[in-house]
Amino acid sequence: MQTSFETLSPLARAAVPDHSTAFDPSLILWTETVPGGTAWSARMRRGNTLRITDVRGSANVSMLLYNAEEKTERYNMPDTLKAQHTAYLTAGHVCYSDMGRVLCSIAADTCGWHDTVCGASTEAGVRAKYGEARYQEHRNAMHRNGTDSLVNELEKWGLSKRDMAANLNLFSKVQSDEEGCLQFATAHRASGQYVDLRFEMDTLVVLSTAQHPLDPNPAYAPQDVTLTVWRSGTAGADDPCRLHCPENGRGLINTERYYL
C-alpha cells in the first residue's frame, strides 16, 4: 500500500529521505515504529530501500540478513569485512552473503559507524546486568534479549537457532583500546540518525531492538526505531557503493547475474 507524504505523521516525515522535489513521496511504500526491546522481520524486495531511524539517539538494532529465496545463503561477516578492508560498516559499504553476492548496500548513513563483531545480547547477560523481569509479573515491560528475540523471529520463517549467524549492530560504535579491550562509544550518538539499506537481492531481514551487550547504560532501556521503505532501484553504474572498491563491483555483478 502506498502512503502519501501528506498523510505521514511528523515523526514519519522526519524518517523519509530528502523532502525536496527530487524525491517522489509516492514512492514510499510504508512506515512504522518498532518499539524498543521487540523484534521485527520482513521480506525486502530487490530495488527497495529501508531507512532505519534512531528516534532518540540511543537505539541498537541487531540485524540478520538472508536470501529470501534460499535461506541457507545469508550475511557473512568475515567476507564483508575482508572484502572492504574494514572492521565496521557505514555509507559506501555493502553486506555480502556467503555466496559472494550483495544482499544490501548502505546507500546513506548519518551515524558513521555500525558494529560488526559484538553479537547480540543474551538472556544470561541481560539478567546479570539489569536483573530479571519476567512476563508473568511485568507483562510487556519484561526484559528481553537480542538472541532470543532474533530466534523467535526466525522461527516465523521456518528457521531456528542453528540458522543464527554473526549479526550487525546498527547505531552502536565499539572500538578497541590500546590493550585490545572493546569500548562502547556514545559521543557520536544523536537523535534522528538514520541508515539507508538499499536491497540488491530479495532479502529476509530479521532485527531486534534490544540493547547492545556492551551498552554502558545501567538501566534496562531499549529504544524505538522508525522504519521507512520506498522504491529506490538498485545500484547504478556510478553508485558509490559499487565504486568503493573493486570487490564491491564484482559482488554487484555476481548479484545482477543471479537475477538475469
Q: Cell match 539517539: residue?
A: 57
- By the 10 Å C-beta count (0-12 exposed, 13-18 middle, 19+ buried), 100 is classed as middle
> Over the stretch 132-171, which tens digit does the pLDDT of each residue have?
999 999 998 899 999 999 999 999 999 999 999 999 999 9
Task: Give pTM, 2 decimals.
Answer: 0.91
> Over the stretch 77-123, which tens digit does the pLDDT of each residue have?
999 999 999 999 999 999 999 999 999 999 999 999 999 999 999 99
Kindly list the domain boundaries of the chain, sorted by start residue.
Answer: 29-258
> Which residues have CB under 8 Å from 6's CB, separation 6+?
25
Does 24 have pLDDT greater than 80?
no
Give SS3 for 105.
strand
Number of Cβ within 10 Å of residue 201's Cβ equals 27
Longest CA pairwise span in the chain (Å): 55
Rounded distance, CA 144 to CA 209, Å?
A: 9
> Over the stretch 59-78, which tens digit does the pLDDT of each residue have?
999 999 999 999 999 999 99
Grid cell at residue 82: 575482508
Contact 60, 76 (CB under 8 A): no
> Over the stretch 161-204, which tens digit does the pLDDT of each residue have?
999 999 999 999 999 988 889 999 999 999 999 999 999 999 99
In 3D space, the residue among 209, 108, 124 whose CA is nearest the CA of residue 167 turns out to be 209
